[in-house]
Structure 1
Amino acid sequence: MTPTFVLVHGSNGNGQYYAPLQRELALLGHRSLAVDLPGHGNGGGFSAAFQAQDQAAFAEEPSPLAGVTHADGVAHVIDVVRRAREHGPVVLAGHSRGGFMLTSVANAVPELLERIVYVSAWCCVDSTAGEYLASPENASSALMDVAGLVAGDPAKVGALRMNWRTTDPALLATLKRALLADGTDSEFYAFLATLEPDECLDAGSDRAEADTWGRVPHSYVRLTGDQSIPVALQDRFVAEADALTPANPFDVHSLDSGHLRALLRPSELAGILAESVTRRSTSPAG
């Protein structure tokens, strides 16, 4: 049966995140769907204050993500996976922060997954997200210099709120370096326009578990030019996971790409995903 790719977006994203990749997958004959995590998508935090750049109001208005938890997102993705599984195998893929969701879902329902694919995505194994953020492998991340994006007190608005419509040239230059140093200014500004202001405060605390997550074939796509999640940190995720499940190591691919270029010009990434479904595990995950 033909697999379905279920795609989980990264921070401040939604299903639109994957439109270019879905077009490429369709042209290769594959079906896919892009998830809107709870609180994202239509109604995902856009407001008149954000649109008008009324900074005072924008910093104070409550977020629709207030009270939304990582567990809510996990339950939502499991429901999508379960429904897609009725029509054939499911490959669950995620980029960046979406990796937290992949790990939790694979821990919970390994029997529903044909493969999981991390695209320069978080894969916590030996440490917590906070510990990885403070690690030497993450020291070069350009995201450490974008604190000026934050609008309002997260505890008061109920979310991590970012003003993606900032006009600060220094901040925009840092963002460009972090996200799309290898893309055009037009691509960069177009992508910023799709980002939602708010992101859930809860990224979960799950780590890959050998007896559940470790049963599912898994791939890691290294983005070697990534200045948001440095390649040293990506490699640490892979090394720790391989030590956890030496009989089921990551199938590793590398793309010469910054954090976003592989998604915006996705022919190579689509080819890797398409190839992944031809390498079915000889030992079913279930």
Structure 2
Amino acid sequence: MTSVSSNTPRPSRLAREADVTFVFVHGVCTGASMWAPVQRELALLGHRSYAVDLPGHGLDAQYPAAYQAPQDLDAWAAEPSKLAGITLQDNIDMVVDVVRRVAEHGPVVLVGASLGGTTITGVGNTVPDLVDRLVYISGWSCVQRANPVEYMQEPEFGDNLLAPLAALNVGDPARLGVGRANYRTAEPDLLALLKESMMADGTDEQFRAFLNILQPDESLAVMTADARAHADTWGTIARTYIRLTEDRSLPVAMQDRLIAESDALTPDNPYDVHTLATSHVGFLLNPAEVAGILDRLTV
């Protein structure tokens, strides 16, 4: 009898069934709306999709009056955040519920960008039998370190541009339980650096349009929870990584480390790797490229 490794990938249903559903999970301070360009392109290719608003995001996001114009930064710094009590497990539970429901209709491809990678990893740890493929788009796929905050101390993260953006922070994160960023700042130097860190390949108008879909708060509990992948569950799912070589928020050197660690964890089930020469969210400006990669996963 031939023995089979516990992390040997399961045969995918994607090659046998056409009714694939792509489930999208957003990153930090965004929501389901960020995926609209990719979803439109997928629809033109005949695919259905569902974009999740994680707890406290989307229309449930918090935009206090003190965040509006004219801003009152002192008042806003003291404003309690309803995201303070949200955990990574809350995010995972929400997406697991979505996956359970869409899996009744066929194969599921679960896609996460940036911090959304920690959520889709948790879903893969929880219901590996319901996910046919995981796709990370410059996403945090943690193995050796517990969470993104720990990885940010590593040398591969050194090419990031986030440190000077601490000037955007409002309030005390330890007291608030969230990181709170003033994306409505009028400081030109900060705005230029923010653009360079996340959408250097876009125009100023495109960048400002993207800023207007961001919410200011993100839960510290989500960013610091143990988000490591488990070989015997997550490791059995086919997976794809889309590297973004011009990313200065999650540098490509760190992306490559995350890929290598995951492949070492499950050598019989390595990443299928694709590369786009774009910034952290610049892939949204050329959504047909991403949709094309996703489409080819289903044939």
Same fold (TM over 0.5): yes
CA contact (8 A) 2:84 2:221 kept: no
Rounded Cα–Cα distance in structure 2 between residues aligned with 1:92 and 1:195: 22
Rounded Cα–Cα distance in structure 1 between residues aligned with 2:231 and 2:84: 33
Residue 99, structure 1, aligned to residue 120, structure 2:
no
1:12-161 correspondence to structure 2 within 5 Å: 12-52=29-69, 53-128=71-146, 129-161=148-180
Rounded Cα–Cα distance in structure 2 between residues aligned with 1:66 and 1:127: 23
The alignment's TM-score, normalised by the length of structure 2, stands at 0.91
State the one-letter code of the partner of 2:50: L
Deviates more, 1:202-211 or 1:221-230: 202-211
Rounded Cα–Cα distance in structure 1 between residues aligned with 2:285 and 2:176: 31
State the one-letter code of the partner of 2:43: A
| Number of the residue aligned with 2:12 | none
Rounded Cα–Cα distance in structure 1 between residues aligned with 2:198 and 2:87: 26
Deviates more, 1:239-248 or 1:257-266: 257-266
Residue 7, structure 1, aligned to residue 24, structure 2:
yes
Residue 175 (structure 1) shift: 0.4
Deviates more, 1:244-253 or 1:201-210: 201-210
Instruction: Please state whether the residue corresponding to 1:191 is helix, strand or coil.
Output: helix
Rounded Cα–Cα distance in structure 2 between residues aligned with 1:133 and 1:248: 26
Describe the shift of the 1:8–1:265 C-alpha distance in structure 2 as closer, same or farther (beyond 3 A): same
Deviates more, 1:36-45 or 1:248-257: 36-45
1:166-177 correspondence to structure 2 within 5 Å: 166-177=185-196
Rounded Cα–Cα distance in structure 1 between residues aligned with 2:203 and 2:250: 20
- Of 202, 208, 211, 1:183 maps to 202
CA contact (8 A) 1:21 1:264 kept: no
State the one-letter code of the partner of 2:98: V
Instruction: Please state whether the residue corresponding to 1:146 is helix, strand or coil.
Output: helix
1:136-285 correspondence to structure 2 within 5 Å: 136-203=155-222, 204-278=225-299
Residue 64 (structure 1) shift: 1.6
Deviates more, 1:150-159 or 1:115-124: 150-159
Query: Which segments of structure 1 move beyond 4 Å, counting only runs of 4 or more?
Result: none
| Number of the residue aligned with 1:284 | none
State the one-letter code of the partner of 1:24: E
Residue 45 (structure 1) shift: 1.2
Describe the shift of the 1:43–1:206 C-alpha distance in structure 2 as closer, same or farther (beyond 3 A): closer
State the one-letter code of the partner of 1:51: Q
Residue 206 (structure 1) shift: 2.2
RMSD, matched Cα: 1.0
Residue 138 (structure 1) shift: 0.3
Deviates more, 1:109-118 or 1:55-64: 55-64
The alignment's TM-score, normalised by the length of structure 1, stands at 0.95
Q: Percent identity?
A: 54
Aligned length, in residue pairs: 278
Rounded Cα–Cα distance in structure 2 between residues aligned with 1:93 and 1:63: 27
Residue 144 (structure 1) shift: 2.1
Rounded Cα–Cα distance in structure 2 between residues aligned with 1:83 and 1:143: 37
Cα distance per residue 1:91-138 (max 9 Å; x no partner): 000100100111111011100001000000001111133331011100
Instruction: Please state whether the residue corresponding to 2:145 is helix, strand or coil.
Output: coil
Which runs of no fewer than 5 residues in structure 2 stay unpaired? 1-16
Rounded Cα–Cα distance in structure 2 between residues aligned with 1:54 and 1:43: 22
Instruction: Please state whether the residue corresponding to 1:33 is helix, strand or coil.
Output: strand
Rounded Cα–Cα distance in structure 2 between residues aligned with 1:43 and 1:33: 18
Deviates more, 1:198-207 or 1:170-179: 198-207
Residue 156 (structure 1) shift: 2.8
Residue 145 (structure 1) shift: 1.9
State the one-letter code of the partner of 1:255: L
CA contact (8 A) 2:134 2:239 kept: yes
| Number of the residue aligned with 1:282 | none
